[in-house]
């Protein structure tokens, strides 16, 4: 049974909420126990976070509803503008409170509210902005009466203004460096042998990506597609699944092994999965008990696969994304409730000069 939304939730939460495990059983959790480390719990993120002590999370990644009419379980994604912005301020203040002074906050958001929420985070709440990242995917959804939308904004903040030596935040530059043009093209001996930091535009054209590649060596843009319906990574039961590749880079850059990574809109569970694989602790919160149950199944599957010995030469996607996993569920509609089109056989065209227009 899914918990009701509303003011009664905090009272129920203080008595103990359910933290779904494998979807068939649950255990009681109470805020008196402290943050629910390495759990994904059912609850309203504002109420859950405000019921906990302050200053325990090292990193927060949030991919909230964009308020554009997506279909979510137990949530209406088409609020009045003022209602949406006010609600956003409440949960962002709760995130700010939960973060340690050295903490970082990444916010994924669409065009409609990116500017509003950036001003809100900086001017009203007190976050310090470090980067405005554009995650661009040409495998986007097509439109008929406007330019096709093919990107998401990822706003990167720190809780404090960084000091001169960056001693009051975590940013592991060497964990996310890529080879520079000086190294690959010009063989310039002056190049940093560690490579360069990626830029703030992340891009993928699927016809140009190598098999299984997210961020290819030598590429300073973030080559990662959204998780489309035909991808092996796709779980199917959540319309807005984040790719592991995006979370991997964020978590590597802005946390250390053993740190606590918070996701106040856990959804498909990608943040928890990435954090677990990378040796971080995680806390996931979602208002849908259904999503929590499936996310825990997904997490359990990944942890079991990572723990087993891997066959030499076996692709990672065969280990993590095998088609018969219990967490994968096909739906009959997309994120907007439109019936899915039955797919026929498809063969990729050869990438030869004869395919190019004259």
β-strands 260-263, 281-286 pairing: parallel
pLDDT of residue 59: 98
288, 2 contact by CB (below 8 A): yes
pLDDT at 205: 43
| pLDDT at residue 40 greater than cutoff 50 | yes
Contacts of 7 (CB under 8 A, 6+ apart): none
Residue with the bigger pLDDT between 50 and 319: it is 50
DSSP 126-147: -PEEEEEEEEEEEEEE--SSSP
Beta strand pairing call for 57-62 and 39-42: unpaired
* Inter-residue contact 249 to 200 (CB < 8 Å): no
pLDDT value at residue 187: 78
Mean pLDDT for 285-295 is: 88
Domain spans of the chain?
A: 33-341
**Pair of tokens at residue 292:** 């929590």
Decide yes or no: CATH 3.90.550.10 for domain 33-341.
no
Q: Is 10 helix (H, G, I), strand (E, B) or coil?
A: helix
Q: Check residue 19 and give its pLDDT.
A: 40
- Supply 69's token pair: 């009419």
| pLDDT at residue number 214 | 46
- Following DSSP, what letter does each residue of 69-102 receive, concatenated? --EETTEES---HHHHHHHHHHHHHHHHHHEEEE
Label residues 303-337 b or e (16+ Cβ within 10 Å = b): eebeeeeeeeeeeeeeebbeeebebbeeeeeebee
**Which of 118-127, 155-164, 331-340 has the least mean pLDDT?**
331-340
What is the rounded CA–CA span in Å between residue 149 and residue 152? 9
More confident residue, 114 or 243: 114
Residue 238 pLDDT > 60: no
pLDDT band with cut points at 50, 70 and 90 for residue 305: confident
Over residues 107-145, the pLDDT tens digits come to 999 888 899 999 999 999 999 999 999 887 755 566 788
Compute the Cα dihedral for 327, 332, 333, 334 and give only its sign: positive
What SS3 state is found at 156? strand
Question: Span 183-199, mean pLDDT?
Answer: 81
- Average pLDDT over every residue of 161-190: 86
The confidence band for 177, taking pLDDT boundaries of 50, 70 and 90, is confident
Q: How far is CA 46 from CA 37, 188, 202, 217, in A?
A: 17, 52, 30, 40
Q: Give the lowest-confidence range in 63-67, 128-132, 216-220, 290-294.
A: 216-220
- Which range, of 123-137, 271-285, 295-309, 341-355, averages the lowest pLDDT? 341-355
Return the higher-pLDDT residue of 303 and 131. Answer: 131
| pLDDT, average across residues 34-42 | 93
Whether 355 shows a pLDDT value over 60: the answer reads: no
More confident of the two residues 77 and 171: 171
pLDDT score for 213 = 45
Position 17 pLDDT exceeds 90: no
Burial pattern 126-165, b for ≥16 Cβ within 10 A else e, equals ebbebeebbbbbeeeeeeeeeeeebbbbbbbbbbbeeeee
Categorize the per-residue pLDDT at 345 as very low, low, confident or very high, splitting at 50, 70 and 90: very low
């Amino acid at each position: 049974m899914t918990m009701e939304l509303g003011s009664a939730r905090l009272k129920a939460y203080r008595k103990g909420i359910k933290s779904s495990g494998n979807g068939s059983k649950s255990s009681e959790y109470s805020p008196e126990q402290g943050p629910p480390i390495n759990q994904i719990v059912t609850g309203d993120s504002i109420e859950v976070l405000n019921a906990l002590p302050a200053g325990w999370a090292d990193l927060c990644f949030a991919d909230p509803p964009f308020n554009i009419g997506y279909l979510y379980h137990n949530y209406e994604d088409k609020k009045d503008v003022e209602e949406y912005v006010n609600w956003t301020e409440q949960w962002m203040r709760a995130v700010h409170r939960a973060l340690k002074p050295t903490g970082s906050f990444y916010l994924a958001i669409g065009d409609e509210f990116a500017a509003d929420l950036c001003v809100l985070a900086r001017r009203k709440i007190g976050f310090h902005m470090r980067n405005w990242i554009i995650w661009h995917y040409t495998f986007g959804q097509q439109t008929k009466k406007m330019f096709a939308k093919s990107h998401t904004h990822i706003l990167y903040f720190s809780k404090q203004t960084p000091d001169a030596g960056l001693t009051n935040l975590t940013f592991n530059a060497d964990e996310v460096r890529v080879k520079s043009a000086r190294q690959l093209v010009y063989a310039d001996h002056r190049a940093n042998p560690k490579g360069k930091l990626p830029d703030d535009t992340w891009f993928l054209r699927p016809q140009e990506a190598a098999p299984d590649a997210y961020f290819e060596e030598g590429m300073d843009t973030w080559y990662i597609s959204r998780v489309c319906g035909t991808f092996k990574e796709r779980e199917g039961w959540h319309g807005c699944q984040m790719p592991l590749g995006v979370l991997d880079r964020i978590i590597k850059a802005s946390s250390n092994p053993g740190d606590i990574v918070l996701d106040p809109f856990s959804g498909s569970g990608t943040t928890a999965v990435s954090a677990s694989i990378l040796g971080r602790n995680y806390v996931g919160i979602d208002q849908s008990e259904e999503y929590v149950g499936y996310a825990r199944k997904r997490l359990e599957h990944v942890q079991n696969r990572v723990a087993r010995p891997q066959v030499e030469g076996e692709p990672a996607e065969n280990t993590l994304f095998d088609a018969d996993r219990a967490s994968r569920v096909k739906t009959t509609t997309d994120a907007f409730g439109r019936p899915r089109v039955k797919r026929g056989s498809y063969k990729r065209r050869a990438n030869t000069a004869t395919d190019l227009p004259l």
